[in-house]
Amino acid sequence: MFRLLHHFSVISSVGIFVVVLALSLFYRHLAFADLIAHEERSNVSLTQALANSLGQRLYLFIESSEGRLSESPGPLDAADSMRQSVVGLMKGLNIVKVKVFDHQGMTLFSTQISQIGELRAGDKGFIAAIGGDVVSALVFKHQVDTFHGVKADRNLVSSYVPVVAEDGSGSIGVIEVYSDVTELVDALDYTLAKIVGGVTGCLLSLYLFLFLVVRRADRILQQSSDEIRYLAYHDALTGLPNRRLFTERLESMLNEKPAVLAVFFVDLDSFKLVNDRFGHDAGDRLLKVQSERLKSCFDSAALIARFGGDEFAIIAPACERNATTTAAMVGKLSDELGQPVELNGALREVSCSVGVSYYPYSGTSVDDLLRNADHAMYRMKKSSSKYCQSGNSATETV
């Protein structure tokens, strides 16, 4: 059974999750790209302002320090002087670290003194900057040494800005500037959380509305499916099980290897004559009345089915195979079905013929039991036609 509500719940839940995840990733990507671009522009402006403020000192520092860090402590003294100047210029800004490299990638200056002398020639940011480009990236540092001491868990934008020679002939070095954007990142994350929460709330509201609609549709489909299934296994006129349900139930019972089981075949005599004389409505009424009478002849364990036309079949699980039991059962059927039925305002008597087969004596399969019960019923119908005309029932046991 296809359950619409189940599939809707699973698919829509996955869909909501995917949409919210994609939206959050997309927004975060755009927001952080914009943040990096903004801070890159800011870092470039600050670097240019720093270069302008330092003036000739920056160019002389790079030229005098290049390749000589290991020769004498002089450049270190110059670096210390440069550090004091940079700290003064960067005071009050969100710049937390400044580094200066020569064109070979040697760290000539860093506000973190321990990094002076490190070689960064293979760094992608340095390579791009020495070629004249500005490169920025958002990085997270568990610990960073800033102008104001060591800080933990900081989000930084690192920008590599080329230092162009005074005559414009090319880059003579690179300045790396770190800006602290922790507060901005936290604000973006908070905004992202609110957006995701709002979108999720809207999607859940839509989901709830659609869930109610789909649940209603699912119930209608389920009801229709139940009705179709019922009609597939029951006779539409009498409400009794049909041939399909009868044979499936009989096969199931036989698979359990019962000690004994009886199959009755009942045929209403002269049913065609009733249809011809009184019309099909009268024939339908006769079938309904006789089906109700059949129910009263058997206990709840029996399965009574309309096999087609004017034929009925019954499975009696506990019916013993002996003449007394068979005669009693047939007599009961004869008395009950032989009672007059009101058809078109008049009482009419309709006889019946009965055939019985027993498992395992008459057969051990569904086909054998049905065939033998049917043959027995037709043999007795032919041999006892004179009794049928007078209202008696004929029966034979196989």
- Domain of 275, CATH number, reads 3.30.70.270
Average pLDDT over residues 343-349: 84
Output DSSP code: residue 119.
Answer: B
Identify whether the C-beta of residue 338 lies closer than 8 Å to the C-beta of residue 393.
yes
Q: Does any domain span residue 317?
A: yes
Q: Are residues 249 and 376 in the same domain?
A: yes
Give the angle 228-231-237 at the CA atoms, nearest 5°.
145
Q: Span 358-379, mean pLDDT? A: 90
179 and 247 both lie in a single domain: no
Is 318 part of any domain? yes
Bridge partners, residue 264, by sequence? 314, 356
Q: Are residues 172 and 255 in the same domain?
A: no
pLDDT exceeds cutoff 50 at 18: yes
Give me the pLDDT at residue 61, please. Answer: 73
Of 179, 173, 149, whose CA–CA distance to 161 is shortest? 173
Same structural domain for residues 390 and 312? yes
Same domain, 60 and 169: yes
Domain boundary among 189, 212, 231: 189
Q: Which residue spans within the chain are E strands per DSSP?
A: 95-102, 107-110, 135-146, 149-164, 171-180, 261-268, 303-308, 311-316, 341-343, 346-348, 352-359, 394-397
Tell whether 147 and 261 lie within a shared domain.
no
Domain contains 235? no
CA distances (Å), origin 28, targets 17, 154, 189, 198, 199: 16, 18, 8, 15, 14
Per-residue pLDDT reduced to its tens digit, 27-37 = 888 888 888 78
- What's the pLDDT score for residue 215? 86
pLDDT > 70? residue 237: yes
Q: How many structural domains comprise the chain?
A: 2
For residue 255, the model assigns a pLDDT of 92
394 within 8 A of 353, measured Cβ to Cβ: yes
**Are 321 and 361 in contact, with CB atoms under 8 Å apart?**
yes
Q: At what angle do helices 74-90 and 56-65 cross, to 10 degrees?
A: 150
Reply yes or no on whether the pLDDT at 71 is more than 70. Answer: no
Looking at residue 299, the DSSP 8-state letter turns out to be -
Average pLDDT of the chain? 82
223 domain residue, yes or no? no
pLDDT band of 370, cuts 50, 70, 90:
very high
For residues 379-385, average pLDDT = 71
pLDDT tier at 72, thresholds 50, 70, 90: very low
Are both 139 and 255 inside the same structural domain?
no
The stretch 86-97 carries a mean pLDDT of: 70
* Residue 289's pLDDT band (cuts 50, 70, 90): very high
Out of 143, 162, 189, a domain closes at 189
- Going by pLDDT thresholds of 50, 70 and 90, the confidence category of residue 391 is very low
Beginning with the edge strand found earlier in the chain, give each strand of the sheet holding 311-316 in spatial order: 303-308, 311-316, 261-268, 352-359, 394-397
As to burial, measured by CB atoms within 10 angstroms (0-12 exposed, 13-18 middle, 19+ buried), residue 54 is middle
Please report, rounded to a whole number, the percentage of residues in the chain having pLDDT higher than 90. 19
pLDDT tens digit string along 115-129?
A: 888 888 888 888 998
- From 155, 189, 223, the end of a domain falls on 189
**38 domain residue, yes or no:** yes
Q: Given the structure tokens 């009950």, which residue do they identify?
A: 336
**Least confident residue range of 83-92, 211-220, 343-352:** 83-92
> Which of 147, 159, 156 has the alpha carbon at shortest distance from 87?
147
Q: Are residues 295 and 158 in the same domain?
A: no
Q: What is the pLDDT of residue 70?
A: 44
CATH no. for residue 25?
3.30.450.20
Query: 10 Å Cβ neighbour count for 58?
Result: 22
- Beta 352-359 vs 394-397: how paired, if at all? parallel
Q: How confident is the model at residue 397 (pLDDT cuts 50, 70, 90)?
A: very low
Tell me the average pLDDT across 103-116: 82
CA 72/CA 146 separation, integer angstroms: 27
126-169: pLDDT as tens digits: 899 888 888 888 888 888 777 667 888 888 888 888 887 767 77
| pLDDT winner (highest mean) among 50-59, 73-82, 290-299 | 290-299
Q: Does residue 211 fall inside a structural domain?
A: no
pLDDT band for position 234 (cuts 50, 70, 90): very high
Give the residue among 140, 144, 102 at the shortest CA–CA distance from 120. 102
Mean pLDDT of 362-367: 91
Claim to verify: residue 251 and residue 158 sit in the same structural domain: no
Q: In a 3-state reduction of DSSP, which class is residue 162?
A: strand
pLDDT band at 66 (very low <50, low <70, confident <90, very high): low
> What is the 8-class DSSP label of residue 116?
T
Do 160 and 263 lie in one domain? The reply is no
Query: Is 220 within the bounds of a domain?
Result: no
CA distance 356 to 222: 39
Domain of residue 293, residue span: 243-397
Task: Identify whether 201 is part of a domain.
Answer: no
Q: 388: buried, middle or exposed (CB in 10 Å: 19+, 13-18, 0-12)?
A: buried
Distance (Å, whole) CA 342 – CA 289: 10
Residues 250 and 185 in one domain: no
Q: Domain check: are 262 and 131 in the same one? A: no
Tell me the helices (H) and strands (E) count for the chain, helix number first: 11, 12
Confidence class for position 373, pLDDT limits 50, 70, 90: very high
Span 224-248, average pLDDT = 90
